[in-house]
A and B are shown apart, each in its own frame.
Chain A
Amino acid sequence: MSFERKELANGIYFNAVHETKFKANLISLRFVVPLSADTAAKNALLFPVLLRGSERYPSIGEIRREEESIYDTGISDSVYKRGDLQILELRINLLENRYAIDGMDITGRAMDLLEDILFHPVTENGVFREEYVESEKKMLVDDIRAQVNDKRRYAMTRLVEEMFEGDAFGLSELGTVETVSSVCPSCLTAQYRDVLARARVEIFAVGNFNFEALSERFAAMFGKISRGELYPLETAVLAKPRDEVKTVYERQNITQGKLSLGFYTGHSVSDGNYHIMQVLNTVYGAGVTSKLFLNVREKLSLCYYCSSAENGQKGYMTVNSGIEFANEKKAVEEILVQLDHMKNGEITEDEITDAKLALIDSAGRVGDSTGTLMNWYFACVMNEEILTPEEKIARFRSVTKEEIVRMAQDIKLDTYYFLCGKEDAAK
């Protein structure tokens, strides 16, 4: 396996991950833009609208039939946030050419389709077709409203909203019902041009390609657009915790309460010792040998799940659990007691070894799928530190108990969110 990276044009990078053991390759384009209230909705709508029709394939049916014809080469879009940045992705999963029964150049045809979708959208009088824009707006609004359907994820999203109120990271990467509704075809078209001109673009090709030819093809594609001033791309790490814990209770007609706690850590990937936080988090609450699993679930039988997660962009940690409403106090108490144990050094060597082995195992399997390889190297380029999984493994091994304890002492409860039942609901 090898990794190479080069800049094709101002802010447009081609990342080649060469690996021959897969039958299907991956091409992904990630457009990195600032997450802001003004543009989040427009950005979220961009790729869905592009996928509605291009000059050669002017309807979604024609696009999908072409995808299916090239050996089920799916082109999918997604949008997510990473720190204060919004990432817009187009991803293509394609069978390697040598598996084509009829000698088809699968990669070539997929690239033709991609180019048409990305650079030749269906327009009317120079703007996106209104029908497509309106239809995608309606679906995005539905998606935003449907976030309430999955209570576990809903609670986690709401916690972040509350904890980061007033901060870019508190915004939804989908925009809001209001901002989506106010998008018009001409303002979306203007945003499309702006993103093409100013976004940082990380292109990934993972698998077995003629990388030289592929990078030339991308260079030619992007060479046709004129690039402008690049967007400023920065993420602000939490500077300090709240003076007083922010407490939010939300009520719904449900039978199980969802507890979501947000903790300030202040530590981020850019500090260079974030691997300590990852071991800390694994000892505390990630996985089935963690303190939270063994105590809140196994010892006290309070829940089916109780786990923690760290975020190395913004410097915070969360704990999530599904519990009986009446057990709220008991569960919170135990979660905090276990955190105190971390701070007081009540950690066994076994706990640390188990946690390290789990992290080492997960880094060790990065090379086993095109998707994990891409995510690994994307994180590297965003963190501005290219590391192999082996180098990261060495860092995990080096973490000591003292380092964990010292870092744990910086952790402080910041936001308390509980999704609970209606007061008048029967227990």
Chain B
Amino acid sequence: MKDTRITERETEFGEKYFYTKHRSGLDIYVIPKDFATSFAMFSTKYGAIDNCFKLEGEPEFHEVPDGIAHYLEHKMFENEDGVDTFSRFAKYGANANAFTSGTMTSYLFSCTDHLKENLEILLDYVSKPYFTPENVEKERGIIGQEIRMYEDNPGSAIYYNLLEAMYEKNQTRINVAGTVESIAEITPALLYDCYYTFYNFSNMTLCVSGRADMEMVLDAVNRILPEREQKTIIRNYYSEKPEVFRKRISAEFEVAKPMFLIGVKDIDISDDSRVRMKKKTEMGILTDMLFGPTSPFAIDVYESGLVNGFDAGYDHGRDSSKLLLEGETDDPETVYGKFVSYIEKNRKEGLSREDFDRIKRASYASYIKMFDSTKLAQSFTYMIHDDCDPFDYGEALKSVTFEEVEALFEKLFHEEYYAMSVVNPVKK
């Protein structure tokens, strides 16, 4: 391994990671932790939104059915020798799983023993697709029931409905599992096409935290990953206008009380990852200042009894940026009206510097707490997939200024960017 350059970084509070780019193109991170549990995550930058793509040099884009990335994840557990992947891990006591989101597919395990053997299994099964008409068919019933389960889940429906209201064309609106109709079109050939496009190692990452060292990880990677040509993927995402597509969307479910989810759309996403990281830290602090547990808004809707279970969140990454507010209320339109006038009041009166200082410190505290997690490799993966170094993120958090947050506030909030999704109880 003389040709492999390993970078080591350390924080002032004693956390460390090792990084290298493997010759296959794979980004490898090892985060040593004094835990009994080790955790490994092998991920591809491929999710539900990647339904239109081609490889560099190909004339035409491939369009594939909704839900195929998730279907592919399920089918990766199938092996040519008929041995189920879960039972391979079970021999070494590992707890294995996988998941698909809009932008990534991850295969993971955690274990307290036999890290090396489990890592070998992970690298092996994810690099060996085996799809047959029979095994692809078998999965349709299982995933069909997974889709049905979400169809009865108002929390899932209110979220996807909001995305459909906010975005007119962009793939962000695609449901990760697809629909019973869309998955009916999935074939072994389509799965192989997606696999060999997105599971090339230069589009993937491997993060291992716990009792791991880079030498052992590199040794496993060298022995197990097959040689694969590095490819450049061209993804076609449909562009969006800044305004939301529809202001309102609603559905009926067997729920006790109406639920609301307000979204603030933001299409100002930089191509420069450092700019995105900076904005992400600002957005986190701003979201907490305006809608966190100590915000006048959260306290008002709690004390007045208008909203039960109020919560606010945001995301800001390469493929999507938005702020979300949710809760249960008898009167979603009143909540929406309060939200709009609250923003205008803040615009007129200005944000509070005292709130900013307190929340910035609290944000830094919760950043440090992240390192207590046995799933650190997962937090790392999320950041790395957005080209954001987890240690730089802590530094960026410390350097955010009040003026930067004020400027972001001005840009982010305008009525044409707001949409609301509502779930109403079924009329008896």
Which A residues fall within an 8 A CB radius of B? 21-24, 59-61, 64-65, 67-69, 71-72, 93, 95, 99, 101, 135, 138-139, 142-143, 145-152, 252-256, 288-289, 294, 297-298, 301-305, 322-324, 350, 353-354, 357-358, 360-362, 364-365, 367-370
Contacts and interface: CB of A to CB of B under 8 A. Distances in A.
Given A322-B148, A322-B149, A365-B35, 9 more contacts: A22-B372, A23-B368, A59-B299, A68-B359, A135-B305, A256-B148, A301-B139, A358-B95, A361-B112
Nearest to B362: A72
B358 A65 contact: yes
B366 A72 contact: yes
Which 3 A-B pairs give the minimum distances between C-beta atoms?
A: A301-B141, A145-B256, A357-B93
Contacts of A23: 13, 368-369, 371-372
Contacts of A59: 299, 303
B113 interface: yes
Interface string B348-376: 00000000001101111110110111100
Contacts of B143: 304
Contact of B369 (A95, A294, A368): A95
Contacts of B145: 256, 302-304, 322-324
Contact of B90 (A67, A69, A302, A354): A354
B365 A95 contact: yes
A361 B93 contact: yes
Most A CB contacts (10 A, CB to CB) among B253, B259, B293 go to: B293
A148 B365 contact: no
B92 A71 contact: no
B35 A60 contact: no
Interface stretch (B119-127, B150-158, B197-205, B406-414): B150-158
Nearest to A100: B365
A55 B305 CA distance: 22
B91 interface: yes
A369 B36 CA distance: 10
Contact of A297 (B140, B142, B373, B374): B142
Nearest to B149: A322
B111 interface: yes
B146 interface: yes
Contacts of B154: 149
B257 A142 contact: yes
Nearest to A365: B37
11 contacts: A59-B299, A65-B358, A95-B369, A99-B365, A135-B305, A142-B308, A150-B155, A303-B142, A354-B91, A364-B36, A368-B36
Contact of B256 (A146, A152, A256): A146
A199 B148 CA distance: 45
Most B CB contacts (10 A, CB to CB) among A101, A142, A305 go to: A142
B138 interface: yes
A108 to B, nearest CB: 16
Nearest to A299: B138
A288 B368 contact: no
B91 A146 contact: no
Nearest to B374: A368
A150 B254 contact: no
A295 B374 CA distance: 32
Contacts of B277: none
Interface in B1-46: 13, 34-37
Contacts of B362: 68-69, 71-72
Contacts of B95: 358, 361-362
Given A142-B256, A252-B254, A253-B254, A64 B294 contact: yes
B395 interface: no
Given A68-B358, A297-B142, A21 B34 contact: yes
Contact of A24 (B92, B254, B369): B369
B426 A361 contact: no
A252 B37 CA distance: 42
Contacts of A305: 149
A64 B293 contact: yes
Contact of B87 (A99, A289, A303, A369): A289
Interface in B281-313: 293-294, 296, 299, 302-303, 305, 308
A253 B234 CA distance: 44
Nearest to B111: A361
Contact of B426 (A93, A253, A255, A368): A253
Nearest to B142: A301
Given A138-B305, A255-B151, A367 B146 contact: no
